[in-house]
Amino acid sequence: MLTFRQQTHIAIVLLVLCMFLSITGCTRNTPSLAAQDEQRLRRYWKIPDHVSLISINSKPQTGGTYGREGLKIYAVFRFSPEQLQEYRKTFRAADWHLLPIAANIFNFKDAPLELPRTTANGMYICDVLLKQQGQQTAPQVVTGKEAPEDISQFHIIFLNFDDATLHVIYKAYY
Protein backbone atom coordinates (compact mmCIF):
# COMPACT_ATOMS: atom_id res chain seq x y z
CA MET A 1 0.00 0.00 0.00
CA LEU A 2 1.31 3.41 -0.96
CA THR A 3 1.50 6.16 1.58
CA PHE A 4 -0.29 9.45 1.05
CA ARG A 5 3.07 11.11 0.30
CA GLN A 6 3.95 8.49 -2.34
CA GLN A 7 0.52 8.86 -3.95
CA THR A 8 1.01 12.65 -4.06
CA HIS A 9 4.44 12.27 -5.73
CA ILE A 10 3.01 9.89 -8.34
CA ALA A 11 0.13 12.29 -9.02
CA ILE A 12 2.56 15.20 -9.49
CA VAL A 13 4.78 13.16 -11.83
CA LEU A 14 1.73 12.10 -13.89
CA LEU A 15 0.49 15.68 -14.02
CA VAL A 16 3.88 16.97 -15.22
CA LEU A 17 4.08 14.16 -17.77
CA CYS A 18 0.59 15.00 -19.12
CA MET A 19 1.51 18.70 -19.36
CA PHE A 20 4.73 17.84 -21.20
CA LEU A 21 2.92 15.56 -23.65
CA SER A 22 0.22 18.15 -24.33
CA ILE A 23 2.81 20.87 -25.00
CA THR A 24 4.97 18.73 -27.27
CA GLY A 25 1.87 17.34 -28.99
CA CYS A 26 0.91 20.87 -30.07
CA THR A 27 4.26 21.40 -31.74
CA ARG A 28 4.35 18.23 -33.80
CA ASN A 29 5.81 18.57 -37.26
CA THR A 30 2.71 19.21 -39.41
CA PRO A 31 2.74 21.18 -42.64
CA SER A 32 1.68 24.82 -42.44
CA LEU A 33 -1.72 25.78 -43.81
CA ALA A 34 0.00 27.45 -46.79
CA ALA A 35 1.84 24.19 -47.54
CA GLN A 36 -1.42 22.24 -47.23
CA ASP A 37 -3.13 24.73 -49.57
CA GLU A 38 -0.32 24.36 -52.10
CA GLN A 39 -0.62 20.57 -52.00
CA ARG A 40 -4.42 20.80 -52.42
CA LEU A 41 -3.94 22.82 -55.63
CA ARG A 42 -1.11 20.63 -56.94
CA ARG A 43 -3.19 17.46 -56.39
CA TYR A 44 -6.37 18.80 -57.95
CA TRP A 45 -4.68 20.34 -61.01
CA LYS A 46 -1.90 17.72 -61.31
CA ILE A 47 0.86 20.33 -60.99
CA PRO A 48 4.22 18.53 -60.68
CA ASP A 49 6.38 19.21 -57.62
CA HIS A 50 9.25 20.46 -59.81
CA VAL A 51 7.13 23.40 -61.06
CA SER A 52 8.01 26.48 -58.98
CA LEU A 53 5.46 28.13 -56.70
CA ILE A 54 5.83 31.92 -57.08
CA SER A 55 3.17 33.03 -54.61
CA ILE A 56 0.21 31.78 -52.62
CA ASN A 57 -2.44 33.73 -50.74
CA SER A 58 -5.17 32.10 -48.66
CA LYS A 59 -8.09 33.66 -46.79
CA PRO A 60 -8.88 32.98 -44.06
CA GLN A 61 -5.36 32.18 -42.97
CA THR A 62 -6.48 30.40 -39.81
CA GLY A 63 -9.33 28.06 -38.98
CA GLY A 64 -12.46 29.04 -37.11
CA THR A 65 -14.88 26.98 -35.11
CA TYR A 66 -15.85 24.90 -38.14
CA GLY A 67 -12.56 25.05 -40.05
CA ARG A 68 -11.69 27.57 -42.74
CA GLU A 69 -15.18 28.64 -43.82
CA GLY A 70 -15.26 30.44 -47.15
CA LEU A 71 -11.69 29.45 -48.02
CA LYS A 72 -10.20 31.17 -51.07
CA ILE A 73 -6.73 30.28 -52.35
CA TYR A 74 -4.91 32.14 -55.10
CA ALA A 75 -1.55 30.79 -56.25
CA VAL A 76 0.84 31.39 -59.14
CA PHE A 77 3.22 28.74 -60.49
CA ARG A 78 6.03 29.25 -63.04
CA PHE A 79 6.92 26.70 -65.72
CA SER A 80 9.98 26.27 -67.88
CA PRO A 81 9.08 26.20 -71.62
CA GLU A 82 9.38 22.40 -71.64
CA GLN A 83 7.27 22.01 -68.48
CA LEU A 84 4.61 24.28 -69.98
CA GLN A 85 4.24 22.16 -73.12
CA GLU A 86 4.13 18.95 -71.07
CA TYR A 87 1.57 20.36 -68.62
CA ARG A 88 -0.84 21.34 -71.42
CA LYS A 89 -1.06 17.63 -72.27
CA THR A 90 -2.21 16.79 -68.73
CA PHE A 91 -5.80 17.66 -69.63
CA ARG A 92 -7.87 16.84 -72.69
CA ALA A 93 -7.74 19.54 -75.34
CA ALA A 94 -11.52 19.90 -74.98
CA ASP A 95 -11.07 20.94 -71.33
CA TRP A 96 -9.05 24.05 -72.26
CA HIS A 97 -10.79 27.21 -73.42
CA LEU A 98 -9.14 30.14 -75.16
CA LEU A 99 -9.23 33.52 -73.51
CA PRO A 100 -10.98 35.76 -72.74
CA ILE A 101 -12.50 34.09 -69.69
CA ALA A 102 -16.28 33.69 -69.94
CA ALA A 103 -18.00 36.76 -68.48
CA ASN A 104 -20.37 34.69 -66.30
CA ILE A 105 -17.43 33.46 -64.20
CA PHE A 106 -16.91 37.02 -62.97
CA ASN A 107 -20.49 36.94 -61.66
CA PHE A 108 -19.70 34.24 -59.10
CA LYS A 109 -20.09 35.30 -55.48
CA ASP A 110 -16.60 36.45 -54.38
CA ALA A 111 -15.59 36.36 -58.03
CA PRO A 112 -12.04 35.53 -59.17
CA LEU A 113 -11.00 39.16 -59.75
CA GLU A 114 -7.35 38.05 -59.98
CA LEU A 115 -8.02 36.71 -63.48
CA PRO A 116 -7.65 38.84 -66.61
CA ARG A 117 -10.83 40.28 -68.12
CA THR A 118 -9.17 41.12 -71.40
CA THR A 119 -7.79 38.87 -74.07
CA ALA A 120 -4.31 37.56 -73.32
CA ASN A 121 -2.22 34.78 -74.79
CA GLY A 122 -3.43 31.77 -72.85
CA MET A 123 -6.11 29.26 -71.93
CA TYR A 124 -8.23 28.40 -68.90
CA ILE A 125 -10.30 25.66 -67.27
CA CYS A 126 -13.09 26.24 -64.75
CA ASP A 127 -14.61 23.45 -62.63
CA VAL A 128 -17.65 24.08 -60.43
CA LEU A 129 -19.12 21.78 -57.77
CA LEU A 130 -22.89 22.20 -57.56
CA LYS A 131 -25.01 21.77 -54.46
CA GLN A 132 -27.95 19.39 -54.69
CA GLN A 133 -30.20 18.91 -51.69
CA GLY A 134 -27.32 19.23 -49.24
CA GLN A 135 -24.96 16.98 -51.21
CA GLN A 136 -22.18 17.73 -53.67
CA THR A 137 -22.08 16.39 -57.20
CA ALA A 138 -19.10 15.60 -59.38
CA PRO A 139 -17.38 18.70 -60.82
CA GLN A 140 -19.22 20.25 -63.72
CA VAL A 141 -17.37 22.38 -66.26
CA VAL A 142 -18.51 25.97 -66.68
CA THR A 143 -17.47 27.94 -69.74
CA GLY A 144 -19.71 30.50 -71.42
CA LYS A 145 -22.95 29.29 -69.82
CA GLU A 146 -24.82 31.09 -67.07
CA ALA A 147 -23.24 30.51 -63.69
CA PRO A 148 -25.35 28.22 -61.48
CA GLU A 149 -27.10 29.97 -58.63
CA ASP A 150 -26.17 27.57 -55.88
CA ILE A 151 -22.57 26.38 -56.12
CA SER A 152 -20.49 24.72 -53.46
CA GLN A 153 -17.00 25.60 -54.77
CA PHE A 154 -15.05 26.47 -57.88
CA HIS A 155 -11.57 25.81 -59.24
CA ILE A 156 -10.09 27.92 -62.03
CA ILE A 157 -6.71 27.75 -63.74
CA PHE A 158 -5.42 30.28 -66.23
CA LEU A 159 -2.33 29.31 -68.23
CA ASN A 160 -0.47 32.41 -69.48
CA PHE A 161 1.76 31.52 -72.43
CA ASP A 162 3.55 34.91 -72.44
CA ASP A 163 5.23 34.48 -69.06
CA ALA A 164 4.80 30.68 -68.60
CA THR A 165 2.71 31.05 -65.43
CA LEU A 166 -0.27 29.14 -64.14
CA HIS A 167 -2.73 31.14 -62.01
CA VAL A 168 -4.89 28.94 -59.78
CA ILE A 169 -7.94 29.95 -57.78
CA TYR A 170 -9.95 27.76 -55.42
CA LYS A 171 -13.03 29.04 -53.59
CA ALA A 172 -15.28 27.14 -51.17
CA TYR A 173 -18.59 28.63 -50.03
CA TYR A 174 -19.05 26.45 -46.96
What is the tens place of the pLDDT at every residue in 77-117? 999 989 988 898 888 887 888 888 888 888 888 877 888 77
- Note the residue count of the chain: 174
Q: What's the pLDDT at 27?
A: 47
72-78 and 135-136 as β-strands: parallel, antiparallel, unpaired?
unpaired
φ and ψ at 72, to 5 degrees? -130, 130
Task: Please state the pTM of the whole predicted model.
Answer: 0.74
Q: How confident is the model at residue 21 (pLDDT cuts 50, 70, 90)?
A: very low
Q: What's the pLDDT at 147?
A: 65
- Mean pLDDT computed over 32-43: 92
